[in-house]
Structure 1
Amino acid sequence: MKQRYKVLQLQPDYNIKQHDFADLAEQIFKALPADRFDTTMAFLRGKPVSGQPVSRAERSVYFEFSDKALKGMRLKASWQLFQFCRRERFDVVICNRFKPVNMLLQLNRWLRIPLCIGISHGFGEYDRFYRRRQAKRLIDRAWQFVGVSPAVKQYLLDCRCGFTDANTHGITNAIDIEQAEALQLSRADARAQLGLDADARLVGALGRLVPVKGHTYLIEAFAALKDKYPQTQLAIIGAGREQARLQQQIERAGLAGRVHLLGFKENALQYVRAFDLWTMPSLAEGLGLALLEGMSGHLPVIASDVPAMRPLIEGAGGLAVKPADVASLTAALDTYLALDDQALRAKGEQAYDYLTREHDIEVFRQQYLQLIESGLSAATKESK
């Protein structure tokens, strides 16, 4: 039997979900034929407890480094990772997010792994001068890079520190639409499980309750329309440090019973059909998978006009709003809430059609398979 290529994916934290419809790392492994690739997933921090899911990789490794061990020079952690990779002799290492990329950039000077792929999920990773200087010094022919949207790819190129048109690619995140839809509850069941009014027109949002997600502006915009649309309610799925402050804002605006902070929900996508329209008022995003999740529920979308989300909003026929701009967000909500149910559903179908055309999971998988195969082919030619 022909020897299989050994592929390692490095993740900063254990984060495997029960369903992998939007898990980039798991979807990459699904792209790799088992007869040609031997797969390992490794996590720098964390590990599952009994009953929690594990990666679909043939093997999972949990380094369980402490936060302290991953700060500064990271000498002990880097030495352990070096020993592991040297022993296993991987052909490909895929690094998700900055910290794994940073560690492998340094270690591959000695490891000489033929193909390393660094995936950037957002902006700002190389804003610091010393990071750009290090990247410029260490990026070599073994490295390829991926931005999870065209905007993130452009961010990398604009850093001018070793990212080039030849080694930097834009592979837009996708979701497994068939799997996502199979998870979704009916409108009635979703509302019943969330404890929401069966007859209200419902504005929805999903995201951590942190400032960058912009929920405070969404609540303020909704408050401006509360009397014009008395049958409308707002519900936000997510938890975070801003919860108490947002709850106070709701009460001050007289929105108790009209705006609901639903907290963290396992497999939150199952509730998407509870809503009539989907909002994402973030101040910044690398791509915004929650926007694609809303589209999978056949919902019209309102989202912030940030570079990573602009083409998604436009393609879906949604409404783009200025980040942190209450007037812009209020106007967009007003536009959609003024539509009758049939017109609003038609906008949702437009968003769903865009999702199926432009964010097909099979295309995503094939792009990663092609990147890996072409990178290994180039490495083989160079070694001869």
Structure 2
Amino acid sequence: MAKVLKILQLQTRYNAADTNSDLGEQILQGLSAERFDVVNAYLEGRPSEDTQHCGRRQVFFEFTEKDMSGLRLKVRRHLLAFCREEGFDVVLLHRFKTVNLFMHLNKTLHIPRCIGVSHGFGEYNRFYRRWQAMRAIDECWGFVGVSSAVADYLIALRCGFTKSNTVSITNALDIDLAESLQLPRGQARQALELPSDALIIGTIGRLVPVKGHVYLIRSFAALSDEYPNVNLSIIGGGREADNLAALIAEFGLQERVHLCGTRPDAMRYVKAFDVFVMPSLQEGLGLALLEGMCGRLPVLGSDIPAMRPLLKGAGGRSFAPGDVPELTEQLRACLADSDAGRAEDGERAYQYLRREHDIEDFRNKYRALLEGDLPVEEASK
């Protein structure tokens, strides 16, 4: 009988809004308790009540913003003691902060397998971070990019990420779960306080500049007189909310552009939309785009490396990131299509999602990676 592997999955921050689409949670679903003894931990945040995921133990360190800045001596001290007591065989680390912490800690801990997952670009753009990686990465380390573009970004840095230790495992969606959570069109619109008889352009994403919502609003404004029965809905919260609200008011579109705020499990509301747009300037993969496909919606998105193959495979429309005139033209073409034409495009996107982003394949690859026997070329497919 194979040895039970004791695994620490460490994430930066607990986010109650994304439990059903969270990458770490999806990985856990594929790990049997008989083979994997997993501790699921978060550096910051906690749920309102302790919950158990897949019967796994959860740890919420609840470090403060001050704890997580500078040298993070308190954080290092606590993690060092925790890991020594637990005796992990593998650590699975999500995003830069957790990876960077263990690049320091594992010089003392000597955990035999450390796997860092990069969810986007730019984490190692600073020279000092690349210098640290070059010094810290050894035979214990492996890395995952959530798309081929992210893996290629890491390898191109030439600071320790190589084709032999860095793979891409493309994010996937639990389609059956997502569909079971989706509200019917009428209920979804009612919950979001959207008009029942309008044609709705929708998007899901944090209200931060990189998500490109300002360009989507400007494009919608350019079409608003031409299509008086079309509305725009944006699900998500963030620091750009006031700026976007001011821009909407500047165009006089307060009745037609709806900032719906943060919604737990936002994919529940995707059927409220008729068209799904993702105007991001940069993405690691663009999981929300997959959620739009799951709603059988025609999809439009920025022509950026992480989303380009998704849009091409789904038969979606693309536009240069931040290019308002081009986005406007692509939206106009989609809105000018018939209901039947949009439905056909949405079904094509859904079938692509089913074919290419199967959650079981995703889980199998992570499970094999944790066991240490996944060839790079297999993981990168």
The TM-score normalised by the length of structure 1 is 0.94
- Please state how far the C-alpha of 1:245 moved relative to its aligned partner: 2.2
- Please state how far the C-alpha of 1:19 moved relative to its aligned partner: 4.5
Q: 1:13 — aligned with what?
A: 13
The TM-score normalised by the length of structure 2 is 0.94
- Aligned match for 1:267, one of 265, 271, 293: 265
Unaligned segments of structure 2, at least 5 residues:
376-381
Q: 1:70 — aligned with what?
A: 68
Does the 8 A contact of 1:177 with 1:361 survive in 2? yes
- SS where residue 69 of structure 1 aligns? coil
Q: 2:106 — aligned with what?
A: 108
- Report the Cα distance in structure 2 between the residues aligned to 1:146 and 1:57, rounded to whole angstroms: 26
Cα distance change, pair 280–293 in 1 and its aligned pair in 2 (3 A)? same
- Please state how far the C-alpha of 1:265 moved relative to its aligned partner: 1.8
Q: 2:250 — aligned with what?
A: 252
Does the 8 A contact of 2:368 with 2:374 survive in 1? no
- Report the Cα distance in structure 1 between the residues aligned to 2:98 and 2:361, rounded to whole angstroms: 26
Does the 8 A contact of 1:114 with 1:376 survive in 2? no
**Could you tell which deviates more after superposition, 250-259 or 170-179?**
250-259
- Report the Cα distance in structure 2 between the residues aligned to 1:17 and 1:193, rounded to whole angstroms: 16
Does the 8 A contact of 2:16 with 2:264 survive in 1? no
- SS where residue 39 of structure 1 aligns? strand
**Could you tell which deviates more after superposition, 27-36 or 294-303?**
27-36
- Report the Cα distance in structure 1 between the residues aligned to 2:16 and 2:230, rounded to whole angstroms: 35
- Report the Cα distance in structure 2 between the residues aligned to 1:216 and 1:238, rounded to whole angstroms: 14
- Report the Cα distance in structure 1 between the residues aligned to 2:262 and 2:30, rounded to whole angstroms: 30
Does the 8 A contact of 1:39 with 1:57 survive in 2? no
Q: Are 1:198 and 2:196 matched, yes or no?
A: yes
Cα distance change, pair 349–144 in 1 and its aligned pair in 2 (3 A)? same
Does the 8 A contact of 1:14 with 1:48 survive in 2? yes
- Report the Cα distance in structure 2 between the residues aligned to 1:144 and 1:196, rounded to whole angstroms: 46
- Please state how far the C-alpha of 1:16 moved relative to its aligned partner: 4.6
Q: 1:215 — aligned with what?
A: 213
Write out aligned runs for 1:30-179 (5 A): 30-50=29-49, 53-56=51-54, 58-179=56-177
- Please state how far the C-alpha of 1:195 moved relative to its aligned partner: 2.0
Does the 8 A contact of 1:149 with 1:286 survive in 2? yes
Q: 1:382 — aligned with what?
A: none
CA deviation string 1:308-341 (max 9, x = no partner): 1111111111111111110011011011001000
- SS where residue 8 of structure 1 aligns? strand
- Report the Cα distance in structure 2 between the residues aligned to 1:56 and 1:18, rounded to whole angstroms: 16
Aligned length, in residue pairs: 375
Does the 8 A contact of 1:285 with 1:309 survive in 2? yes
- Report the Cα distance in structure 1 between the residues aligned to 2:258 and 2:64, rounded to whole angstroms: 36
Letter in 1 for 2:192: L
- Report the Cα distance in structure 2 between the residues aligned to 1:120 and 1:198, rounded to whole angstroms: 40
- Report the Cα distance in structure 1 between the residues aligned to 2:137 and 2:125, rounded to whole angstroms: 17
Does the 8 A contact of 1:29 with 1:57 survive in 2? no
- Report the Cα distance in structure 2 between the residues aligned to 1:299 and 1:206, rounded to whole angstroms: 13
- Please state how far the C-alpha of 1:2 moved relative to its aligned partner: 6.2
Q: 1:186 — aligned with what?
A: 184
Identity level (%):
55
**Could you tell which deviates more after superposition, 249-258 or 354-363?**
249-258
- Report the Cα distance in structure 2 between the residues aligned to 1:238 and 1:228, rounded to whole angstroms: 27
- Report the Cα distance in structure 2 between the residues aligned to 1:122 and 1:165, rounded to whole angstroms: 18
- Aligned match for 2:331, one of 330, 333, 340: 333
Q: 1:319 — aligned with what?
A: 317
- Report the Cα distance in structure 1 between the residues aligned to 2:157 and 2:18, rounded to whole angstroms: 36
Does the 8 A contact of 2:17 with 2:266 survive in 1? no
Does the 8 A contact of 1:115 with 1:375 survive in 2? no
Letter in 1 for 2:262: F
- Report the Cα distance in structure 1 between the residues aligned to 2:246 and 2:108, rounded to whole angstroms: 55
Unaligned segments of structure 1, at least 5 residues:
378-384
- Report the Cα distance in structure 2 between the residues aligned to 1:252 and 1:13, rounded to whole angstroms: 35
Cα distance change, pair 340–16 in 1 and its aligned pair in 2 (3 A)? same
- SS where residue 295 of structure 1 aligns? helix
**Could you tell which deviates more after superposition, 311-320 or 262-271?**
262-271
Letter in 1 for 2:7: V
Does the 8 A contact of 2:10 with 2:94 survive in 1? yes
- Report the Cα distance in structure 2 between the residues aligned to 1:197 and 1:25, rounded to whole angstroms: 35
Does the 8 A contact of 2:80 with 2:105 survive in 1? yes
